Chain A
Amino acid sequence: MAPKLPPQLPPQNRVEQAGDASGTAGHADAGYHHGPKGLLRWLLTTNHKEIGTLYLIFSLSMFFIGGIFALVVRAELFQPGLQLVQPEFFNQMTTMHGLIMVFGAVMPGFVGLANWMIPLQIGAPDMALPRLNNFSFWLLPVAFTLLLSTLLMPGGGPNFGWTFYAPLSTTYSPPSTTFFILSLHMAGISSILGAINIIATILNLRAPGMRMMDMPLFVWTWLITAFLLIAVMPVLAGVITMMLLDINFGTSFFNAAGGGDPVMFQHIFWFFGHPEVYIMILPAFGIVSAIIPTFARKRLFGYASMVYATSSIAILSFLVWAHHMFAVGLPLVAELFFMYTTMLIAVPTGVKVFNWIATLFQGSISFETPMLFALAFVVLFSIGGFSGLMLAIAPADFQYHDTYFVVAHFHYVLVPGAVFAIMAAVYYWLPKWTGHYPNERLGRWHFWTSVVGVNLTFFPMHFSGLAGMPRRIPDYALQFADFNMASSIGALLFGTSQLLFVLMIIKCVRGGEKAPAKAWDGAVDLEWTVPSPAPLHTFETPPRFQHQEH
């Protein structure tokens, strides 16, 4: 009964855009000649597309730097015993890998996509606060140069894990910790400014006629993510400020000798940290909710329930933080409370997975690269969700906590989850960005090598974790040798296959099959009404949006 082909946007909408776009294309060229050229142009740009590109390039560079650190870790763990690096350096590598991937690769990657696509998807000419946008981007290279430079400082860089638990990160931390705090402050301010900008854009610059419930899900999920950022980044800023005071000014927030409490660090950190993990996954939900309907050539099943599910995940994410702390000695009521709230969060998550599968049902599906990544996301993210449910069982978590099982869990939700979603988005929107289709053959190679690599790396970690291998150690007992060797080989495969991703991007920028405005025939959102490549300035006169039934 569902129609095989998607209802198109009202024709009047597209016609208007075609006219508008050809007008702006010339305009864009003119604008290009006004501004400064070369490096200065990129330094000073306030254009959402250019800033989006900067964010994405930054994110990709950090992905490789963080990836190299991970490969150092995996190389050391290839065999039991200490072969390549000293334990001190090993700890710096695990820490920096986590920090860089979370704050440098995944978050800026999503912000880059938001910058490029939100104005295009809501019919806005640019972000609401273009100069602030420029500033929030340029904070990032400064922050991460500073963070990376701590590796060269006496005593080395941060070595206390990406969760920087006190007192490891205060009393026992290397002298460079103050710089680590400073760089995290900068990255945090950048995220906050980005979030303000996104909220201001979405709430104020939608095309006339576009109601909230008409917005594409990528816009919706980013709006909710931005609210999460506004709510928890200040808490992160607070907790690292307390660390700074403890380290340099003799306060005792986390020092029991002075009346403080190290467990309180964990409470405040995870009050930020759990919503933070949803910050890294909600935009991914939005991306997948755009790609699956496009390639199934059907409308998204349950649009409204997607919006409500996303909102309830966001609200619930403030009530589950102590599931990271089941083993600190919480009282029984707290263990139970956090166990049940955590399991409750799986319900709206399940609604989403259900909706994606229902969208596929009876669709006329084609398997271009973006769709492959989106489908892999659904399957592999669900595996991560299930291991999450296992960890949510408080008594079981006493065994799983701080083992490789946790590492397996969060890498399943973050790598074939968040990272695959970003890659899917890149393949999906590259035609819009460059005017060329990405090379399908290369895309497929990239996809399959990545899928095999990811699973070979992270699936064995479930087993080594259940068998008791602790996380964050440079050496391990002999019985874990085979699992670790498999993981290390998988990591090498996954890492090298990302070179294909870069190759694909370079080829796509340089040339390739020309893409029309509407690059994918099942795509319906507003970005497909502007020409490909999207001219520098779009929607200078707002399009008139006519809403469809969801």
Chain B
Amino acid sequence: MTGVQRTVTRTLVVLLAMFVFAFALVPLYDAFCRVTGINGKVENTAQALIRDSIDESRVITVQFITRGSPGLPWKLEVLDRQVRVHPGAATEVHFAFTNHGKQAGWGRAVPSVSPSEASLYMRKVTCFCFQEQRLDAGERYEAPLVFQLTRDLPDDIKTVTLVYTLYPVDDKTLAAKVLANEAPAIVVPGIAVPGGEA
């Protein structure tokens, strides 16, 4: 029966490998998307400006869309819905968070870029989306976004849309992260984020 035992051991090894592979797909997927910019995920940490000359021959329309989500009585507004920029130029736009709820809470705006190829050329110097926000009941808070589209943006991209979706953040997961020192950066170089005083 050693033949059978050998076959069984081998299949068990493959099984285990495939189970591990399923979980490995998560970081792989993330890395793959980040490298190729495939699913519109943008770098979620501050990036330095590339000090390039500005390509004045091209004008790109950048649109902003904001969305709320059920379970979070907040509103995210963009004060400049649409801007026209030259590749290479840094631009600042303003957003406003309002907590219409009766309680203080945590939320987070998650960005996505469309078309997804453009996400590789979108550099954010300052963004409220880099970490969770805390708003008191009724509080309104304005935050800037400073971004740059790099000059190597492909020619066929004429319009770039940035979507921010608000999500509620569980206090407990956030608290855990803060305790574990993973989300301490209430202050990011350049901007102060509400909740810093909390």
Contact = CB atoms under 8 A, between A and B. Distances in A.
Contact of B39 (A237, A255, A261): A261
B139 interface: no
Interface stretch (B15-23, B56-64, B140-148, B189-197): B15-23
A203 B170 contact: no
Interface residues of B, number: 39
A129 B108 contact: no
Interface string B162-188: 000101111011000000000000000
A206 B36 CA distance: 49
A466 interface: no
Contact of A204 (B7, B16, B29): B7
A231 B173 contact: no
A128 B5 CA distance: 10
Nearest to B110: A256
A111 to B, nearest CB: 16
B22 A199 contact: no
Contacts of B169: 257-258
Interface residues on A, range: 35 or more
A196 B8 contact: yes
Given A129-B8, A257-B108, A237 B22 contact: yes
Given A231-B14, A238-B22, A200 B29 contact: no
Interface in B34-54: 36, 38-41, 44
A129 B18 contact: no
B104 interface: no
B77 interface: no
Contact of B22 (A234, A250, A259): A234
Contact of A261 (B4, B15, B29, B116): B29
A196 B18 contact: no
B94 to A, nearest CB: 23
Nearest to A334: B38
Contact of A331 (B4, B8, B38, B108): B38
A493 interface: no
Nearest to A235: B22
A264 B32 CA distance: 12
> Which of B14, B18, B108, B173 has the most CB atoms of chain A within a 10 A radius of its CB?
B18
A311 B171 CA distance: 51
A258 B177 CA distance: 11
B21 A204 contact: no
B159 interface: no
A192 B18 CA distance: 12
A231 B36 CA distance: 27
A230 B89 CA distance: 53
B39 A234 contact: no
> Which of B8, B22, B36, B172 has the most CB atoms of chain A within a 10 A radius of its CB?
B22
Given A196-B12, A231-B14, A256-B165, A238 B3 contact: no
> Which of A234, A237, A256 has the most CB atoms of chain B within a 10 A radius of its CB?
A234
A239 interface: yes
B39 A263 contact: yes
Interface in B80-100: none
B117 interface: yes
Contacts of B8: 129, 196, 200
A204 B21 CA distance: 28
B103 interface: no
Nearest to A272: B22
A205 B108 CA distance: 59
A237 B7 contact: no
B18 A234 contact: yes
B26 interface: yes
Contact of A267 (B3, B25, B173): B25
The 7 residue pairs across chains A and B that have the minimum distance between CB atoms? A238-B22, A257-B167, A234-B18, A234-B19, A204-B3, A235-B22, A200-B7
Interface of B: 3-4, 7-8, 11-12, 14-16, 18-19, 21-23, 25-26, 29-30, 33, 36, 38-41, 44, 69, 108, 110, 114-117, 165, 167-170, 172-173
Interface of A: 128-129, 192, 195-196, 199-200, 203-205, 230-235, 237-239, 242, 250, 253, 255-259, 261, 263-264, 267-268, 271, 329-331, 334
